[in-house]
Structure 1
Amino acid sequence: MGEISRNVDFENLISYGDDLVELLKDKKDLNNLTRCVENSKSLRLNCDADIDEIHSLIQGYEQKIDACKRKIDEAKSEVVSDAEISFLEKELDEEMEREPVVDEISDLEHHSVSVEERKKIQKKVKQEEQRLKTMLSIYASVTNIIPNLDDQMSISGHIVEKNKKVVEMFEFDPANVSDFNLCNEIWKMISM
């Protein structure tokens, strides 16, 4: 009966080791996390640029509206003929037609919606990043191995023994070590 439980445990350990090797070997999660971070930075820069552009457009239109109001006030303050008032009103109407304010407001509303959508995407990216960090933390607490995700050329990290308060560094070059030997080395580190 003791041998049967050992076989079951050994099979679980082999399965767990295979999963761990795939995690350390497959950089898909790391690449996804890196891509998410880069996308969030790009998204933030685009949002800031759109907001600055919108503010400058609004200021420009406010200045044009103020200039037109001044012209009207000047025209009203002077005693002028009805023909001149008609001419100024006509000029104002032409100016308003040249500047499609309604279209610009619609464009500004569209930009606002676009900014909101980008914020939602950024929030999802942060949630995915947090999920990946949590998964990595779970793997590290189970195996006592903290991988070095900054080094893309080798498999490296630290072995942490909490009871002995010891940290030991390891590094493998995948070009020089077979997958089988790499798996065995990792198992040895985990079982210490």
Structure 2
Amino acid sequence: MGESKKMEMEDIISYSDDLVTLLKNRNETNDLNNCVDISNQLRSLCLSDQSQLNTSLKDYQEKINLCKQKTEACKAEVASDAEIHSLQKELDEELHKESLLQEELRAITNQINNLEEQRSSIEERRQVLKKLEQDEKKTQMKLSMYASVTKIIPDLNDQFKISGAIVDKEKKTVEKFELSSQEMSDFDTCNAVWKMIT
């Protein structure tokens, strides 16, 4: 029974240390939320750019097809060398523009993929933080329950001694206590805490 109480006290101390560490890093949740918002905005912007590029690419493809038709029509009509040269030059320019648009589209697609990976990573971190917050609430509830049952509120600041306060709501008193874990055996410490509880 005494060892069980000692383990519960060690669990309370451990939970409290984790809770303090988590509370100190609460700004990380806000940073992650800001990152998710910025990532979503960038993704939306990239998708919009991609849509515009696809439209431009389609227009240029239509122009290229039209140029090819004109070239074929001119060849069929035995057009002059100057006209063929002019049409070929126009076709080459359109093909060059199409190539540039294809490269830009590839770059934007890569950006979208990177943003999607970042969003996924941020979402995973958000889930971890959510679980930590839930664990924190559970720990707070446990500490509250332990304090309510035992009437002992531990002081978790000092690792080398067991200290805290015994609160008696009926008598409206608060009595501080301190036990040295180095001077007492674990058994004696447990017995001392048990006597305070009972």
Shared topology, TM-score over 0.5?
Answer: yes
5+ residue gaps, structure 2, are: 54-85
Query: What is aligned with 1:20?
Result: 5
Q: Answer whether contact 1:156 1:170 (CA < 8 A) is retained.
A: yes
1:116 aligns with 2:123: yes
Query: What is aligned with 2:182?
Result: 175
3-state SS of 2:160 partner: coil
1:97 to 96, 99, 103: 103
5+ residue gaps, structure 1, are: 1-14, 69-80
Query: What is aligned with 1:29?
Result: 15
Shift of 1:91: 4.6
Identity, % of aligned positions: 33
1:44 aligns with 2:50: no
Shift of 1:162: 0.1
Query: What is aligned with 1:5?
Result: none
Structure 1 length as normaliser, TM-score?
0.63
Write the distance in 2 (CA, Å) between the matches of 1:33 and 1:51: 25
Letter in 2 for 1:29: Y
Greater relative contact order structure (CA < 8 Å, 6+ sep): 2
Write the distance in 2 (CA, Å) between the matches of 1:177 and 1:146: 20
- Give the greater-gyration-radius structure (CA): 2
Structure 2 length as normaliser, TM-score?
0.62
* Residue-pair matches, total: 166
Write the distance in 2 (CA, Å) between the matches of 1:41 and 1:156: 28
Judged with a 3 Å threshold, the aligned counterparts in structure 2 of structure 1 residues 180 and 87 are, in CA distance, closer, same or farther, namely: same
**Pairing of 1:127-166 with structure 2 (within 5 A):** 127-166=134-173
Write the distance in 2 (CA, Å) between the matches of 1:159 and 1:55: 52
Shift of 1:52: 7.9
Judged with a 3 Å threshold, the aligned counterparts in structure 2 of structure 1 residues 85 and 157 are, in CA distance, closer, same or farther, namely: farther
Query: What is aligned with 2:66?
Result: none
Write the distance in 2 (CA, Å) between the matches of 1:90 and 1:38: 57
Shift of 1:31: 4.7
Shift of 1:144: 0.5
Shift of 1:134: 0.9
C-alpha RMSD of matched pairs (Å): 4.0
Write the distance in 2 (CA, Å) between the matches of 1:147 and 1:56: 47
